[in-house]
Structure 1
Amino acid sequence: MDRLSSGGLVPDVSLDRTSPVPLYYQVATRLQQQIEDGSMPVGSRLENEVELADRLGVSRPTMRRAISYLVERGMLIRKRGVGTQVVHPKVRRPVELTSLYDDLLKSGQEPRTEIREIEIRPATDVVAEALGIAFGTEVTWIERLRYAGDEPLAIMHNAVPLDVLPLRREDLERSGLYDLLRSAGHVPRMANQIVGAKNATSAEGKILGESRGAPLLTMTRTAWDAGGKAVEYGSHLYRASRYSFELNLTS
């Protein structure tokens, strides 16, 4: 096991040269961990690739590939005349049955919610089909803007059947929807989820702090409790510059 301690912007990087995991990926994931835990704060400038490669004992192409990997993931940015800098790390969300509120808390970020709309209204065809209820059945419709700290991250639309949970603005402002569902005895156990992409409209870009046409990730989900009752339908938009879905695949 090789270990490098620096007095600069890479505090501590460990490499296992006996591991089948490629060296570039080991370097990238260690740097990613340091960005996410704040050891390498936003705005920090990395040493150049040649110096980092020499200090880590890896080839320059390996170091270049590791940095490129983090640039592609939105954690580093290259600026002409400045070098490579740390930027806001993306929120990485594992594709599992959790809520964005849960994931932000788990990653040490501070979720904040702005309730833009909450009302009881008849279910549309799409919502009714997803929830398995009759068209026109009343549901609680919510539009929320979710922040990570002070930065807008997602526009979230949800429909919840009235017989599942009575929802109040003040509860949604201080807690996540899934927390409220769990407290009401409707723990989400299964879900159908579709992830896609679109370009931001002018209105969406203004709300999320992005330009018109900026890439957004889309996610629609219907969740059921252990008894097979549909407890929520969601249609969400996420800033692709600050958010990604993560999948771990095995064969």
Structure 2
Amino acid sequence: MARTGDRTRTATAPALAGLDFALDRTTPVPLYHQLAQQLQAAIEHGALAPGDLLGNEVGLSARLGLSRPTVRQAIQCLVDKGLLVRRRGVGTQVVHSRVRRPLELSSLYDDLEAAGQSPTTQVLRNEVVPAPCDVAAALGVPEGSEVAALERLRRTRGRPVALLRNYLPPSLLRLDTARLESTGLYRMLRSAGITLHRARQTVGARAATREEAARLEETAGAALLTMERTAFDDSGRAVEYGSHIYPASRYTFDFQLLVRA
């Protein structure tokens, strides 16, 4: 352990061997909170992978130069968030982290890529179909008129995190399957000169059907988060309607609440 000014730099093993933790003992921020934040960042950015073992509390305390209660509290914070699990006879282990996504007009692909989670996409459907009633209403087109229909399975670290269904006016842009599997839909819209200006979005929850559970590698009836969004360009035209589902065990929405005076 080496000291630099008022900060303590530590490196630990086994899974933590390649990581540095900067614990500032001069601030009012509790050490357990600093450690929990840095461990969470390491998990979310892939420096700690699912299945990695951190060791037991006694070993971690000695390696980090912290008291056992401090380490225990930091670990408990991440256990409560579903990022770590305690296994008897094994120690503390990283589990599959949840995708944490801001509740704003952004692309899931862009959000995952920015978080260092290396998203991949499998296109399950890419065709022109008659618009169902709900899709027609969202896009402001006659029911039964042609719309482009997409269905994609988004994965990160090899595990499914979203089943995405999108509908667009067919003349909007060319929806090439190979390109859809290498980038995000919103990025393709931007490249075509389409500026997304606002969206109307509804978030809900329900149980997975057998087919959805199989796609998302969950059990039938597992909890799903749902999101329906209609996006509009800067002229007010509806350019995309999405109906997406996410496994609640691996996905959360983050948003800020402001107090109105």
2:216 to 181, 196, 208: 208
Q: Which runs of 5+ in 1 are unaligned?
A: none
| Distance in 2 between residues matched to 1:169 and 1:66, nearest whole Å | 44
Deviation for aligned residue 1:76: 1.0
1:15 matched to which residue of 2? 23
Q: Does 1:28 align with 2:36?
A: yes
- 1:210 counterpart SS class: coil
CA distance in 2 between partners of 1:41 and 1:148 (Å)? 12
What is the alpha-carbon distance in structure 2 between the residues aligned to residue 25 and residue 215 of structure 1?
Answer: 30
Return the match for 1:163 from 165, 171, 175: 171
Q: 1:53: Cα distance to partner?
A: 5.0
SS at match of 2:40: helix
2:11 is the alignment partner of 1:3? no
Give the direction of change, closer, same or farther, for the CA distance of 1:19–1:190 in structure 2 (3 Å limit). Answer: farther
Deviation at 1:17, TM superposition (A): 4.8
Residue 236 of structure 1 is matched in structure 2 by 244
Aligned residue for 2:48? 40
Cα contact 2:204–2:226 (8 A) shared by 1? yes
Change (3 A) 1:141 1:30: same
Q: Would the alpha carbon gap of residues 39 and 170 (structure 1) be closer, same or farther in structure 2, given more than 3 Å must change?
A: closer
Q: Percent identity?
A: 49
Secondary structure at the aligned position of 1:14 is classed as strand
- The one-letter code of the counterpart of 1:126 is D
| Conservation of the 8 A alpha-carbon contact between 2:44 and 2:117 | no
Partner SS for 2:86: strand
Q: 1:207 to 1:142 in 2, by over 3 A?
A: same
Greater CA drift, 86-95 or 36-45: 36-45
Listed one character per residue, the Cα deviations across residues 99-144 of structure 1 (whole Å, up to 9, x for unaligned) are: 1111222122322222212221222221122222232232111111
| TM-score of the pair, normalised by structure 2 | 0.84
Check if 1:172 corresponds to 2:180: yes
* RMSD of Structure 2 on Structure 1 (CA): 2.4
Superposed, 1:107-146 pairs within 5 Å as 107-146=115-154
Q: Which amino acid aligns with 1:70?
A: L
Report what 2:87 is aligned to: 79
Q: 1: CA distance between counterparts of 2:73 and 2:140? A: 48
Residues of 2 paired with 1:19 and 1:197: CA distance?
A: 40
Structure 1 residue 231 displacement after superposition: 0.9
- CA change 1:105–1:158 in 2 (3 A) is same
Distance change >3 Å, CA 250–CA 59, structure 1 → 2: farther
Task: Tell me by how many angstroms 1:249 deviates.
Answer: 4.3
C-alpha distance in 1 between matches for 2:202 and 2:30: 31
Normalised TM-score (structure 1)? 0.87
Q: Secondary structure at the match of 1:46?
A: strand
1: CA distance, partners of 2:205 / 2:76: 23
Structure 1 CA distance for aligned equivalents of residues 180 and 200 of structure 2: 23
Partner of 2:3: none
Partners of 1:40 and 1:120 in 2: CA distance: 42
Q: Deviations over 1:64-106 (max 9, x none)?
A: 3432221233321122221210123222212222111112221
Q: Contact 1:178 / 1:187 at 8 angstroms: preserved in 2?
A: no
